[in-house]
Chains A and B, each alone.
Chain A
Amino acid sequence: MQNSLAFAAALAIGLSALATAWAQGRIGPAAAAALSEKPELTTTAIILIAIPETMVIMGFVVAVLILRGTG
């Protein structure tokens, strides 16, 4: 049971981290290209890059809750 829960927590954080990495890997170069032409878009670029981090953060929260649920 403990092992399954640990595996579930690892999946929660691992898969969401992969998804975030994939999304940021797509957004990052596009944002860098946009900034090279329009530096005034810095704020927008920061926001766009930070948005996918919600996934891994939620994954982290879920993983913690799964592990805490085991007592």
Chain B
Amino acid sequence: MIVRMTRVRVAGPRVLLDRTLGVLQDAAVVHVTRPALPETGIGPYDRERRSLRRILEDDETALRLLGAGLPLPRRGVPELSLPRAAALARRTRRRAERIARAISDLEDERVVLLRYQEFVSAFRPLLESELAWPDGRAFYVVLRAGARRAVQRLREHLEVTVDGQVEVLSRPLASGETAVLILSSAEAGVRVAQLLGAARVQELPAPEGLGETSLLRALPRLPLRLEEVARAITAREAERRSLRDAVLDDLESLRAWLHDRLLIVDARGQAHAGRHLFVIEGWMPESELSRLAALVLRELGPDVMVEAVVTETSGRSDAAVELANPPLFRPFEVITRMLPLPRYGTIDPTPVVAVFFPMFVGLMLGDVGMGLLVAALAVTLRLRSKPRSTLRAVSSMAGACAAFAVVFGLLFGELFGDLGSRVFGMRPLGFDRQNAIVPFLALSVAIGVVHVLLGLTLAVVNAWRTGHRREAVGRGVAASMVALTVLAVLAAVRLIPRALFTPAVVALLVAFPCLVLLEGVLAVIDLLSNFGQILSYARIMALGTASLMLAVVANRMVGAMGSALIGVLFALLFHVVNFVIGLFSPTIHALRLHYVEFFGRFFSAGGTAYRPLSHWHPSYPGS
């Protein structure tokens, strides 16, 4: 259901505006909107907002760089004054940026050094003899992964170019790259360098941190430098930790305070503020009005007035929308919230969804075994989810679907298809889906009739509540015509007394012109579409039967594969596939039946979400 809202007006002397907004923030019940009053030209407080945002950016950047983790909810009361807190945020940000940059540079150097170490260890014996070869020259090249074949081409080119005065050696590296060492005589070295340059093959220079131009001369210092880098990184990390410990509380408090303050500034921009008076308007739950009035009187005295502005339902069409359902139905709000919120004054379909959605999924699955597997999945999700999270809601919905699947499984006598009847002698308490396909189809369509008629009835209620009386009567006539048509069909096939056929047809003939008069010619098309929508519920039978057939085929594989073991493996594989399909397909089609066939009858989207002015929280929208 949608919480009943009232429009509230809070007015008082201008000097009390900020304090009043602070009290409203503490109360956390008023969704502030702009009052229908002329602009005063005061505000919109952009300078203060910019200044607060700049400090907040410093603060949050510093916290991020210091690795403060997820923000903790806390009341924003900084112990420092704002200028000192702002200076602290700025200073900490700069210092944190310096530390982060230093760590990043050291990490980069370590990666490069490790790469050299790999290269060097591939050619260590040769490199160690380089010093004994003063007239020679060495080139160090690393070819990218998959370019190993290029070594042969490189060797051929070089040998032709420098007339054999070159030796090309290659070793594969663990990274998939290829280390290539090219040794040449001093006079051939110039031409080799030219050729490598022309072929855009980059030579590996000695690492910068070693202060050597020759890789060989840098070689002994490599392990030492690696140790130095590791020590430097540890020292910088320690510096970052100590900085974080020193300023974390102040920065966290400052962040919460700044967010709170920005919310106040935004709300102030919505208020009508003159030179002497202010007026704040907004929407709040009707049940909270007296509590708010008492709180404002206690905190601000009689100078600030709180009153309800509009009480008529018709005047609340732009009210903020808050859904509030009993705990049993609340998880299914996730399905309603996947669409834009319903407009205020219309119907929240969540309670109906909470009944029909798991029922549809259960009907389609209709298997004790599958139901128990879904229940196990629901329990796992519940254990791994946080309270009030979407995952927790999904686990509750899965639990409801599992319960329906088990109940319908008992009615249909199914446990992983016909395994229950073949092994345990399980018998259907209702009917056997495998043979009673037409009754199952009739049941699915009958459920469609009930669901669509319920949707049409809710459309009548919606139109009536929003003051569209003519539309309400028109929708009522359309709903009656659908019901009369169903009656006539049932009478024609003698499922109900045949005597009802003629009265039903006469009533239809009377209702038809009434419908055209009330809703226009297009209502006829809408009426016909209702029958198409009802037939669409045949998918419940189709998906249910398909799932059952897959399970039956899986069970028959045990005897059909020659080897019992292979048969069991194939059967298990088929059951797993069937279960995965059974998780997605019924869910998607149950959603579709709700969104298209059911919601399409009455749902009126476009409600504004209720977001009361409150203290900042890490999960606050836009955080």
Q: How far is A50 from B441 in the complex, measured between Cα atoms in Å? A: 20
Q: How far is A61 from B438 in the complex, measured between Cα atoms in Å? A: 9
| B543 within 8 A of partner (CB) | yes
Residue of B whose beta carbon sits closest to that of A49: B588
Task: Please determine whether B338 and A53 come into contact, CB atoms closer than 8 angstroms.
Answer: no
* Nearest CB on A from B455, distance (A): 16
Q: How far is A53 from B339 in the complex, measured between Cα atoms in Å? A: 21
Q: How far is A50 from B541 in the complex, measured between Cα atoms in Å? A: 16
- Of the residues A50, A60, A65, contact of B589 by C-beta under 8 Å: A50
Task: Please determine whether A57 and B338 come into contact, CB atoms closer than 8 angstroms.
Answer: no
Q: For A57, list chain B residues within 8 Å (CB).
A: 538-539, 542-543
- Of the residues B438, B539, B588, contact of A54 by C-beta under 8 Å: B539
- Of the residues A42, A50, A64, contact of B592 by C-beta under 8 Å: A50
Given contacts A60-B546, A61-B441, A61-B542, contact A43 B339 (CB under 8 A): yes
| B555 within 8 A of partner (CB) | no
Tally of contact residues, B, Cβ under 8 A = 20
Given contacts A53-B589, A54-B536, contact A64 B595 (CB under 8 A): no
A-B contact count (CB 8 A): 42
* Nearest CB on A from B606, distance (A): 15
Tally of contact residues, A, Cβ under 8 A = 15
Task: Please determine whether B596 and A51 come into contact, CB atoms closer than 8 angstroms.
Answer: yes
Task: Please determine whether A61 and B538 come into contact, CB atoms closer than 8 angstroms.
Answer: yes
Majority SS at the chain A contact face: helix
Given contacts A58-B538, A64-B545, contact A43 B596 (CB under 8 A): no
Q: How far is A51 from B600 in the complex, measured between Cα atoms in Å? A: 14
Given contacts A58-B538, A60-B546, A61-B538, contact A68 B592 (CB under 8 A): no
| B437 within 8 A of partner (CB) | yes
Produce 1/0 per residue, A31-63, CB < 8 A to B: 000000000001100110011011001101100
Produce 1/0 per residue, B521-556, CB < 8 A to A: 000000000000001101101110110000000000
Chosen A-B contacts, 26 in total, with CB atoms closer than 8 Å, are A42-B338, A43-B339, A43-B591, A43-B595, A46-B588, A46-B591, A46-B592, A47-B591, A47-B592, A47-B595, A50-B589, A50-B591, A50-B592, A51-B592, A53-B539, A54-B539, A57-B539, A57-B542, A57-B543, A60-B542, A60-B546, A61-B441, A61-B542, A65-B441, A68-B437, A68-B438
